[in-house]
Amino acid sequence: MNFKNYFLNRFSAFILDCDGVIWKGSHVIPGAREVINILRENGKLVLFVTNNASLSRRTYAEKMRSLGFDVDPKEIYCSSYVTAMLLSGKVERVYVIGEEGLVEELELAGLKSVDSDKAECVVVGLDRGLTYSKLSKALACLLRGALFVATNRDPTLPTESGLALGAGAIVAALEAASGRSVDLVAGKPFPFMFELALKDWNLEASKTLVVGDRLDTDVVGAKRAGLVSALVLSGVTSLDEVQSAKVSPDFVLRSITDLVSLDLGHNYRAIRSS
């Protein structure tokens, strides 16, 4: 099979994970901007997903623009926004462990960030200003039976100086203390993030490709949402890990540039694994 233009011919929408796919830390993956431009010039919809909940859609778009990506906030599905959509109309008063971007999205969706004694729901995201007091207040809410919601369960996040504590570790602390399990999770690998994007843009699942660098979040999440997935080797997952993993992406690519340039002339060939 000739893979040149294969992805352009087969798919009408591309849902791209960000870290490890279009950038790594503060460095843009070579060719990522150009690939996105080519996809758009060919009439394709390009959306962005990330479990990052510390920024809102608005501030995430600013970050992306500063890295040279021309993006509308509506094209971004960050877990702060997705959490707000998950809760919109279900609860009103929330106690938030999280950062400004999360609070901004919750309030835009009509939810109120309140003190723990007035909250009917605890929302937990990455909070780099986390304190013992905040955790204790959240625990009191949970012991009263408040809805327990997480932006994502990633235990760690990569930073320039190595791994840092992720939202999932904060969730785990509250699960241990409360003896409860989290009720709802917005981020990957739970499928809600992808389902929301499909619904908002009226996308056909069979013509939508998810591109990610992690098997346990991007690929598993895509499968749960009934979407085709491509794993790129430009992020955290190596080819050896792909080959020994239980979960198989539909495609394995060296990087996002293979979406528009791949043909059989390359040394490394796309692995179609299902």
Q: How far is the CB of 63 from Mg ion (least distance, A)?
A: 15
CB of 253 to Mg ion, least distance (A): 14
Catalytic (active site) residue 250: no
Which of 99, 104, 154, 213 forms a contact with Mg ion (CB under 5 A)?
213
Question: What is the number of residues in the chain?
Answer: 274
Told to check if 154 binds Mg ion by CB under 5 A, we report no
CB of residue 158 vs Mg ion: minimum separation in angstroms? 9
The 3-state secondary structure of the chain reads: CCCCCHHHHHCCEEEEECECCCEECCEECCCHHHHHHHHHHCCCEEEEEECCCCCCHHHHHHHHHHCCCCCCHHHEEEHHHHHHHHHCCCCCEEEEECCHHHHHHHHHCCCEECCHHHCCEEEECCCCCCCHHHHHHHHHHHHCCCEEEECCCCCEEEECCEEEECHHHHHHHHHHHHCCCCCEECCCCCCHHHHHHHHHCCCCHHHEEEEECCHHHHHHHHHHCCCEEEEECCCCCCHHHHHHCCCCCCEEECCCCHHHHCCCCCCCCCEECC
Residues 37-96 that bind Mg ion (CB under 5 A): none
Contacting residue, 16, 19, 61, 83, with Mg ion by CB under 5 A = 19
Minimum gap (Å) between residue 79 Cβ and Mg ion:
12
Of 17, 75, 127, 154, the one binding Mg ion (CB under 5 A) is 17
Q: Select from 13-21, 90-98, 137-145, 178-186 the region that touches Mg ion (CB under 5 A).
A: 13-21
To the query of whether residue 218 is one of the catalytic residues in this protein, the response is no
Instruction: Please identify, using beta-carbon distances, which residue of 17 and 75 lies nearer to Mg ion.
Output: 17
Q: Which residue is nearest to Mg ion (CB)?
A: 20
Looking at beta carbons only, is 23 or 148 nearer to Mg ion? 23
Residue span binding Mg ion (CB under 5 A) among the ranges 11-19, 82-90, 113-121, 141-149: 11-19
Of 89-97, 100-108, 213-221, 260-268, which segment contacts Mg ion by CB under 5 A?
213-221
The region of 1-9, 20-28, 69-77, 125-133 touching Mg ion under the rule CB under 5 A is: 20-28
- Nearest distance in Å: CB 19, Mg ion: 4
Indicate whether 250 belongs to the interface with Mg ion (CB under 5 A): no
Compute the distance between CA of residue 196 and CA of residue 185 in angstroms, rounded to an integer: 13
Backbone angles phi and psi of 199, in degrees to 5: -70, -50
Longest dimension (CA), the chain: 63
> What residue ranges bind Mg ion (CB under 5 A)?
17, 19-20, 213
Report the catalytic residues.
17, 19
